[in-house]
Homo-oligomer: A and B are copies of this chain.
Amino acid sequence: MASLSVLRSAYPWIKTPLIACAPMLRIATGPLAVAVSRAGGLGFLGAGFDLSNLEADLKHSAELLAKLDTPINHKDTNGTLPIGVGFINWGADLKTAIAAIKRYTPCAVWFFAPASLPDDLVPWAEAIRSATNNKTKIWVQVGSVSEAITVAESLQPDVLVIQGSDAGGHGLARSASVLTLLPEVKDRLRERSMGHIPLIAAGGIVDGRGLAASLILGASGVVMGTRFLTSKEANISHGYQSELLRLSDGGRCTVRSTVYDKVRGFTSWPERYNGRGVINQTYVDAVEKGMPDEENQRLYEEETKKGDAGWGPNGRMTTYAGTGVGLLRDILPAEDIIRNTQVEAERAIKNISAE
């Protein structure tokens, strides 16, 4: 598969099928990103829209990578830092990004949610390619066929992340799941002679069955976010993780909404996005009881003082999670998550072939 060899040549250390960790804001920091790449995946730092910590996070990651018992061979990284950086482009500052990228040459950048697509991303792609002599590969996350075609034509991305409606956190408010989105993107790109671009499936993939299904649907690999929320290396509070393990019926206990942004004061997301989070008191008050945003925001701010007790069915702390949350059973090291998922996918494929 041509698109798979693109990935293998860019990232020689990866074990296939490729599993990347989503650049989850504040949660995917150095320890998680490094653990994922160390296990043969591709870890991303969640740099987000505020890049003031980016240099420090990259420095910390570089130190962790240098300290590994069995470090990733420099020869195997094409001279890059073998982790990526994920930006939320409506807010991220290009100059700050370029300074950090020049210094650390991450193996990938991941663009998401520019105010204007593709216009706002063109200067980002050009500046980064020029700053690292094309060593840093350009990943762009899209949520529709039309976005995929637009980005493919205007940016020539190295990788497209195809995000379906099951994803936790932010994504297009209106979208298909990976089940139909991925094949349609694949077909439309192939018709336009862009079938070589690797497609990475995101949204609803939490185990080997989801990984195997994504490969069947045309993906060259997958991104997992929700699954890594329950990794040992995630920078996440105990209350958040406990809540994730408690939940079941992921399509019913989560909902897509803008209310979680509102109470936390994040008002700059372009209108086409909202976020999938666990239904909690914030949502019930806003949607079922019509509570004004200001009051809901005040209650949220009070809740933040409660620490771990702020999560849970009657809590107000935002619990972003995908519909796969009901499949989470344990907290594991990222390395085990990756290995288990790959082994389970291979077994699922073997079983289905034998029938």
List residues of A whose CB falls within 8 A of some B CB: 1, 4, 143-146, 164-166, 172, 174-181, 183-184, 187-188, 203-207, 209-210, 212-218, 248-252, 255, 322-324, 326-327, 348-350, 352-353, 355
Once bound together, how far apart are the Cα atoms of A209 and B178, in whole Å? 12
Query: Are B184 and A326 within 8 A (Cβ)?
Result: yes
- Chain B residue with Cβ nearest A149: B249
* Across-interface contacts of A212 in B (CB, < 8 A): 216, 352
CB proximity of A320 to chain B, nearest CB, Å:
15
Would A1 and B355 count as touching, CB distance under 8 A? Answer: yes
12 pairs, A vs B, C-beta closer than 8 Å: A143-B251, A166-B179, A172-B251, A175-B252, A176-B204, A176-B324, A180-B204, A181-B251, A184-B327, A210-B217, A212-B216, A213-B217
Give the nearest-CB partner of A206 in chain B. Answer: B180
What 3 A-B pairs come out closest when comparing CB atoms? A176-B251, A177-B177, A176-B323
The CA-CA distance from A175 to B254 in the complex, in Å, is 9
- Taken together as a complex, chains A and B put the C-alpha atoms of A210 and B188 apart, in Å, by 17
Q: Is the CB of B324 within 8 A of A180?
A: yes
Apart from A146-B252, A179-B213, what are 12 other A-B pairs with CB-CB below 8 Å?
A: A4-B355, A145-B248, A145-B249, A146-B248, A165-B251, A172-B251, A179-B179, A180-B206, A180-B322, A180-B323, A184-B327, A209-B217
| Chain B residues, CB < 8 A from A252 | 144-146, 172, 174-176
Q: How far is the CA of A345 from the CA of B177 in the complex (A)?
A: 19
User: A246 CA to B212 CA in the complex, in Å?
Assistant: 31
| Interface pair A187/B249, CB less than 8 Å apart | no
A183–B211 Cα gap in the complex (Å)?
Answer: 12
Residue among B183, B188, B206 making CB contact with A209, cutoff 8 Å: B183
For the complex formed, measure the closest distance between the CB of A354 and the CB atoms of chain B, giving whole angstroms. Answer: 9
Residue numbers in B under 8 Å from A349 (CB-CB): 216, 349, 352-353
A178 CA / B326 CA spacing, docked (Å): 13
Contact of A174 among B146, B164, B255 (CB under 8 A): B255
Q: Which residues of B contact A206 (CB under 8 A)?
A: 180
